[in-house]
Structure 1
Amino acid sequence: MRVNLDVQSLRSFIKVGETKSFTRAAQALSLTQPAISQQIRRLEDLLGVELFVRERRQVLLTLEGEKLFGYAKDIVACNDKIGGLFEKEKRRETVVLGMPEHFCERVLPHIISNMAIQFPSTQMVVKVARSGVLMEAVKDGEIDLCLVIDELGIASEPPWHTLSVKWFGSAQAGLGDDLKDVPLVLFKPPCGFRSLAIRSLEACGLKWHCVYESEDLMSLRSAVQAGVGVTLLPYVAQAMGLRSLEGVSSLPRLPEFAVMLRERAGWNPGCRQQMLDLIRTAWASEYIDGPL
Structure 2
Amino acid sequence: MSAPLDIDQLHTFVAIVDTGSFTKAADRVFKTQSAVSMQMRRLEERVGKQLFMKDGRGNKLTAEGDKLLNYARRIIRLSNEAMAAFDDNRLEGMLRIGTPDDYADRYMPEIIGRFAKTHPNVELYIVCEPSPSLAEKMSRGELDIALVTHNPRLRVSDVVRTEPLCWVGSANHPLKDDAPVPLAVGRRDCLWRQLACSALDADGRDYQVLFTSWSATVVAAAVLTGLAVSVLPESALRTGMKVLTAADGFPPLPPVQIGLMKRPGLSPSLLHAITDHITACLDNISPAPVSDDVDGDMKTVTRLVRPRMAQVMPGW
Which TM-score applies when normalising by structure 1?
A: 0.61
Give the secondary-structure state (helix, strand or coil) at the position aligned to 2:207: strand
Letter in 2 for 1:103: Y
Give the secondary-structure state (helix, strand or coil) at the position aligned to 1:183: strand
Letter in 1 for 2:126: V
**Cα gap change, 1:142/1:126 in structure 2, threshold over 3 Å: closer, same or farther?**
same
Corresponding residue for 2:138? 138
Q: CA shift at 1:159, angstroms? A: 2.8
Distance (whole Å) between structure 1 residues aligned to residue 146 and residue 232 of structure 2: 19
Letter in 2 for 1:126: I
Corresponding residue for 1:129? 129
Q: CA shift at 1:111, angstroms? A: 1.1
Unaligned stretches of 5+ residues in structure 1: 1-90
Distance (whole Å) between structure 2 residues aligned to residue 179 and residue 134 of structure 1: 40
Q: CA shift at 1:105, angstroms? A: 2.7
Corresponding residue for 1:175? 175
Distance (whole Å) between structure 2 residues aligned to residue 265 and residue 276 of structure 1: 14
**Cα gap change, 1:133/1:153 in structure 2, threshold over 3 Å: closer, same or farther?**
closer
Contact preservation (8 Å) 1:152, 1:255? no
List aligned pairs for 1:159-198, cutoff 5 A: 159-175=159-175, 181-198=180-197
**Cα gap change, 1:260/1:288 in structure 2, threshold over 3 Å: closer, same or farther?**
farther
Q: CA shift at 1:268, angstroms? A: 2.0
Describe the superposition over 1:94-137 as per-residue Cα deviations: whole angstroms up to 9, x where unpaired.
11111223322332111111121111111101112222222222
List aligned pairs for 1:276-287, cutoff 5 A: 276-287=275-286
Give the secondary-structure state (helix, strand or coil) at the position aligned to 1:200: helix
Q: CA shift at 1:288, angstroms? A: 5.6
**Cα gap change, 1:174/1:260 in structure 2, threshold over 3 Å: closer, same or farther?**
same
Percent identical across equivalent pairs?
26
Unaligned stretches of 5+ residues in structure 2: 1-90, 289-316
Corresponding residue for 1:200? 199
List aligned pairs for 1:17-28, cutoff 5 A: none
Corresponding residue for 2:300? none
Corresponding residue for 1:111? 111
Contact preservation (8 Å) 1:186, 1:231? yes
Distance (whole Å) between structure 1 residues aligned to residue 252 and residue 272 of structure 2: 37
Q: CA shift at 1:287, angstroms? A: 4.7
Contact preservation (8 Å) 2:96, 2:145? yes
Give the secondary-structure state (helix, strand or coil) at the position aligned to 1:159: strand
Corresponding residue for 2:263? 264
Q: CA shift at 1:230, angstroms? A: 0.4
Distance (whole Å) between structure 2 residues aligned to residue 244 and residue 273 of structure 1: 37
Give the secondary-structure state (helix, strand or coil) at the position aligned to 1:270: helix
Give the secondary-structure state (helix, strand or coil) at the position aligned to 2:159: coil
List aligned pairs for 1:34-45, cutoff 5 A: none
Letter in 1 for 2:115: M
Q: CA shift at 1:180, angstroms? A: 5.5
- Between Structure 1 and Structure 2, how many residues are aligned? 198
Contact preservation (8 Å) 2:246, 2:252? no
Distance (whole Å) between structure 2 residues aligned to residue 194 and residue 237 of structure 1: 16
**Cα gap change, 1:286/1:220 in structure 2, threshold over 3 Å: closer, same or farther?**
same
**Cα gap change, 1:262/1:98 in structure 2, threshold over 3 Å: closer, same or farther?**
same
Corresponding residue for 1:250? 249
Contact preservation (8 Å) 2:157, 2:260? no
Give the secondary-structure state (helix, strand or coil) at the position aligned to 1:286: coil
List aligned pairs for 1:53-92, cutoff 5 A: none
**Cα gap change, 1:145/1:288 in structure 2, threshold over 3 Å: closer, same or farther?**
farther
Q: CA shift at 1:227, angstroms? A: 0.5
Corresponding residue for 1:241? 240
Letter in 2 for 1:173: H
Describe the superposition over 1:155-200 as per-residue Cα deviations: whole angstroms up to 9, x where unpaired.
8566332121110101211136x56521111223331122222121
Contact preservation (8 Å) 2:175, 2:226? no
Give the secondary-structure state (helix, strand or coil) at the position aligned to 1:105: helix
Letter in 2 for 1:159: V
Corresponding residue for 2:7? none
Please tell me whether Structure 1 or Structure 2 has the larger radius of gyration of its CA atoms: 1
Distance (whole Å) between structure 2 residues aligned to residue 137 and residue 152 of structure 1: 17
Distance (whole Å) between structure 1 residues aligned to residue 209 and residue 244 of structure 2: 18
Corresponding residue for 1:148? 148
Letter in 2 for 1:165: L
Which TM-score applies when normalising by structure 2?
A: 0.57
Instruction: Indicate the RMSD between aligned Cα atoms, in angstroms.
Output: 2.6
Corresponding residue for 1:102? 102
